[in-house]
């Protein structure tokens, strides 16, 4: 049986963000967000998707620029999910693939989240048109006292377990 390496917390939560992102039906961008409480408990998750109850099988809604009217971002979806179920986000940490846009950054500040952890490798690949958002997001976070940290590490290889044995 192969040996299992115990991940550190950042590795675990960033891997979770990527796993949550696989739920997105966006044809070009898969973003996930995981919000963690001060005791390292998962408070909520989100991925970029249509709002609840909205038909996401309309092809025109999947294409740029129309998709920007329909898709909700992962970070805000995670925040909305917390609100829906009554979970406080005060003092929490948000893990996500890349630097949040300004709309998400404002929601992060207003919800009480105090730390944001971003995958550095994803951020390095951001298209130039997103850089403007990133600069402003960093400024907003700095003024609001939200700490942003770039994570540089390896994601956990996804494995399947069967009665304690690794099968994949």
Secondary structure of residue 115 in the 3-state scheme: strand
* Phi, psi (degrees; rounded to nearest 5) at 70: -105, -35
* Phi, psi (degrees; rounded to nearest 5) at 97: -65, -45
For 42, the token pair is: 């998962």
Contact 75, 49 (CB under 8 A): no
For 17, the token pair is: 């963000």
Distance (Å, whole) CA 68 – CA 66: 5
> Of 3, 41, 75, 129, which residue is the catalytic one?
75
Contact 89, 123 (CB under 8 A): no
The reply to whether 75 belongs to the active site is yes
Annotated catalytic sites, by residue?
A: 75
């Amino acid at each position: 049986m192969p040996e299992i390496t115990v991940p550190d917390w950042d590795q675990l939560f960033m891997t979770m963000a990527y796993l949550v992102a696989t739920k997105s039906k966006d044809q070009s961008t898969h973003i996930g967000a995981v919000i963690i409480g001060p005791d390292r408990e998962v408070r909520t998750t989100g991925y970029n998707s249509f709002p609840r109850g909205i038909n996401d099988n309309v092809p025109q809604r999947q294409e740029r620029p129309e998709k920007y009217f329909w898709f909700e971002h992962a970070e805000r979806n995670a925040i909305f999910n917390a609100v829906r179920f009554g979970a406080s986000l005060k003092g929490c940490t948000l893990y996500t693939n890349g630097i949040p846009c300004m709309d998400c950054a404002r929601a992060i500040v207003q919800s009480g989240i105090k730390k944001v952890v971003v995958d550095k490798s994803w951020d390095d690949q951001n298209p130039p048109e997103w850089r403007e958002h990133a600069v402003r997001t960093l400024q907003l976070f700095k003024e609001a006292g939200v700490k942003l940290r770039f994570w540089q590490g390896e994601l956990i290889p996804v494995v399947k377990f069967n009665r304690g044995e690794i099968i994949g």
